[in-house]
Amino acid sequence: MKNSTTTNINHHKEEQQHHPKNDPSTVSSIDSRFNQTLKNVQGLLKGRSIPGKVLLTRRAEPPDDPSIQSPTFGRSFSENDAGGRDHMHKSTEEKDQSTSKRNNEGANMLNPSTSNIDNTSKETHKSPMTARATDSTRVTKFTKELSVPTVRLERLRELGWSGVPPYMRPIVWRLLLGYAPPNSDRREGVLRRKRLEYLDCVAQFYDIPDTERSDDEINMLRQIAVDCPRTVPDVTFFQQEQVQKSLERILYTWAIRHPASGYVQGINDLVTPFLVVFLSEYLEGDVDNWSVSNLSPEKISDIEADCYWCLSKLLDGMQDHYTFAQPGIQRLVFKLKELVRRIDEPVSRHIEEQGLEFLQFAFRWFNCLLIREIPFHLVTRLWDTYLAEGDALPDFLVYIFASFLLTWSEKLQKLDFQEMVMFLQHLPTQNWTHQELEMVLSRAYMWHSMFNSSPSHLAS
């Protein structure tokens, strides 16, 4: 670890030498170009005349537009801040052209004020959307990336951000969450060990009589038992008793091992994407026709273990979202309100005039990561982006949710307080397809590029 850190720092230094310091006039001109782009985008979105596809295309035309960058850029700060597992791989595993990008990220961290320009100039020739040119080239890229002895997580994030081919999701998600190690030699061994560890936990905490549980634990188990049958009830698969039992074991084991938060309603929803993705390795066809009764207990246990560990990894980055008074969520709701004010002043003013609090509708969004708000068949695609964001996810959620909310900017301005609350509780997303979701994500990405790197926009 010590070595890798040193290497990183050296790279940073090199990188800075390659990039002469930018003068302030350039910065301000870029700023105004950002503003112009923002206005254009707002115009497009308000007019609703531009379907998502056009916006997606715009994303793929980076040379003319400094605001369009690879998603990697947005992650740079917290990725570096986070240290830990990713740093381990960074210095040793990046040998090719992506090395320069990584170094660039390091430079950002050391000198945030110049980060825009560096990234803009360096990243403009790249775009995540080029990877989507055709599905088969995407699949080829994933296949190539996954076949190397040590997977380059950074590259995988970049690819995964725009969606992972369904049959590759299990392996990609395990890697992105840091559950499976990038080194393929170690992978099987680590997973085997982790799955056994889960089995031990279940035996130790779940498979015991109530007499050995504290009152709080009994309450928690009761709460989980109340919630399992009401987890994604509109998807019949989750109504199977065996599936609910798996859910209960995962949730209870997680709750016991995370006493700072314990089980909080809504975390049950968060297990469901993992369940369907890891089950998809064994079951074929439509989720609604799946049955787990033909799976061996060993397989079910392995799947549960994967869900458990991936849930743990996901929530590790959001610990204070579920502790007392849920300060993490409150903080993000506040950020969302601020961001919406910057992006769409009229709707922001309307919401305020009507006395609608963001907490009144956005709390559930953050608590359940939007699972409740979109059709279940779109959730795994949304989570590809979540998991690709990695440690930067909480902050990026703010952008996704702003983009989601402002899908209905015009509509909202015609509603009064009560109508708004009810509209936002039951958003008309039932017939959404991937196109609407991609629109939300693209816009989030764009706004993130514009605002997150330019705190001055938020301060004005």
Partner 1 sequence: MGAYKADDDYDYLFKVVLIGDSGVGKSNLLSRFTRNEFSLESKSTIGVEFATRSIRCDEKVVKAQIWDTAGQERYRAITSAYYRGAVGALLVYDVTRHVTFENVERWLKELRDHTDANIVIMLVGNKADLRHLRAVSTEDATGFAERENTFFIETSALEATNVEKAFTEVLTQIYHVVSKKALEIGDDPAALPKGQTINVGSKDDVSAVKKAGCCSA
Binding residues for partner 1 (CB under 8 A): 222-223, 226-227, 230-234, 262, 264-266, 268, 322, 324-326, 353-355, 359-360, 363-364, 367-368, 372, 416-418, 421-422, 425
Instruction: Name the token pair of 138.
Output: 């995407």
Which ranges constitute the DSSP H helices of 65-183? Answer: 71-82, 84-93, 98-110, 115-123, 135-147, 153-161, 169-176
Query: What is the dihedral angle through the alpha carbons of 211, 213, 216, 218, rounded to the nearest 10 degrees?
Result: -60
Least separation, in Å, of the C-beta of 315 and partner 1? 14
Least separation, in Å, of the C-beta of 326 and partner 1? 7
Least separation, in Å, of the C-beta of 206 and partner 1? 20
- 168 closest CA partner among 86, 277, 285, 291: 277
Give the nearer residue to partner 1 in terms of CB position, either 247 or 300.
247
Spatial CB neighbours of 89, under 8 Å, sequence gap ≥ 6: 150, 152, 153, 182
Say whether 409 sits in a helix, a strand or coil. Answer: helix
Cα separation, 448 vs 68, whole angstroms: 10
Say whether 135 sits in a helix, a strand or coil. Answer: helix
Least separation, in Å, of the C-beta of 263 and partner 1? 8
Give the nearer residue to partner 1 in terms of CB position, either 84 or 355.
355
Say whether 183 sits in a helix, a strand or coil. Answer: strand
Least separation, in Å, of the C-beta of 390 and partner 1? 25
Least separation, in Å, of the C-beta of 270 and partner 1? 12
Cα separation, 352 vs 348, whole angstroms: 6
Give the nearer residue to partner 1 in terms of CB position, either 35 or 360.
360
Give the nearer residue to partner 1 in terms of CB position, either 418 or 435.
418
Give the nearer residue to partner 1 in terms of CB position, either 388 or 398.
398
Give the nearer residue to partner 1 in terms of CB position, either 41 or 369.
369
Least separation, in Å, of the C-beta of 169 and partner 1? 24
Give the nearer residue to partner 1 in terms of CB position, either 282 or 334.
334
Q: How far is CA 390 from CA 25, 26, 128, 455, in A?
A: 34, 31, 16, 22
